[in-house]
Chain A
Amino acid sequence: MERVPVLKIGDILLVSIQIDMSDQTALALQEDLAERIVETGARGVIIDITALDIVDSFIGRMLSTIASISRVLDAETVVVGMRPAVAITLVELGLSFNGIRTALNVERGMELIAASHDDLGPDEEMDDPEPGQAATSV
C-alpha cells in the first residue's frame, strides 16, 4: 500500500496528496496525521489537494474526520487547492464540507492558521495580564 508523506514546516504539518489514493491509503493517512500532530505538537495541518482530480464521498469523509481529529488534538486543519470541477462535483454529490476550513492555496492556508493563533493569543496570556491590556481580550 502506498503512503502519503506528512511534512513538518515550523508548527504546521503539510500533506500534499499526489496519488490516486485507495481507501486503505486514505485511512492510513488519517492515522499517520493523528500520530504526527501529537508527536510534533503541530498547531495546524494543511492538506493540499491540488493534484486530486476527484474527491468522492470516501475522501470527503476522510477530510472531515481529519479536521475533527485535529481539532480535538488542538490543531487547525485547512484544505487547500481544490479544483473548480471538483468543487462543482462535490456539491452535486451532496457532500457538505461542514467544519472544514478551506483556502485557495498553501500560502493562504498558512495565513489562515497563523491568524487563528493570533486570535487565541490574548486568551492564553490572561493568567498573567499586564495592567490595562487584559480588558481588550474579552
Chain B
Amino acid sequence: MTAGVDLSPKAQAIGSDEDVVRVRQLVRTVAVAVKLSLVDQTKLVTAASELARNTLVYGGGGTAEVTVVDDGRRRGVRIVFADAGPGIPDLTLALTDGYTTGGGLGLGLSGARRLVDEFDVDTAVGEGTRVTVTKWSR
C-alpha cells in the first residue's frame, strides 16, 4: 500500500449534472489508488456514471459514497448510491435491457450490473433506492 494515498471513505452529493461528472472523477481517483486494471477502472467509472445519472434523474438527487474494501486477499472499490426518491415498483422490469421510463436507452441499471462484480439494489416504493456496487482488483 502506498503511503500518502488517502483511502478513507468519500461522499459526493448528486444534485446536478456537474455532480455526475464529479462522481466519475472521484470513482476514478479511488479506482486508480487501489490499482484496478485500466479496463476495470473504465468499467467501474462507466457503471458509476450510469448509476449517478439514475440517482439524479429518477431518484431526484442523492449521494454517492465511495469506500475501499478489503476481503483479506484483494482490494476493491464499493460505491453506494442512495436517494429518497419514488423507489422502483418493479425491479425485474427495471433491470431488463432496453426498459426505460425516462426516455433513455434503458441500459443504465442493466448495463451497470454487467460492468461490476457485485450488484445489489434495495428499493422501497415511496421511500427511495439504494444501489451498491463493488469491483475487485484481480
Contacts and interface: CB of A to CB of B under 8 A. Distances in A.
A62 B130 CA distance: 28
A54 B31 CA distance: 14
Given A23-B53, A24-B17, A57 B42 contact: no
B43 interface: yes
A111 interface: no
Given A56-B49, A89-B115, A23 B107 contact: no
A95 B115 CA distance: 12
Given A54-B24, A57-B108, A88-B42, 7 more contacts: A23-B53, A57-B104, A57-B111, A61-B104, A61-B105, A83-B42, A93-B107
A45 B73 CA distance: 48
B23 to A, nearest CB: 11
5 contacts: A54-B49, A57-B105, A85-B39, A92-B43, A93-B46
Main SS of chain A's interface residues?
helix
Contacts of B45: 53-54
- Interface size grouping (class) on chain B: 20 to 34
A74 to B, nearest CB: 26
A113 B21 CA distance: 33
Contacts of B24: 20, 54
B42 A58 contact: no
B6 interface: no
Interface string A76-112: 0000000111101100111100000000000000000
B117 to A, nearest CB: 13
A48 B9 CA distance: 35
B18 interface: yes
Contacts of B65: none
Q: Which 6 residue pairs across A and B have the least CB separation, nearest first?
A: A93-B111, A85-B42, A22-B17, A56-B49, A57-B107, A85-B39
Given A94-B107, A94-B114, A95-B107, A23 B46 contact: no
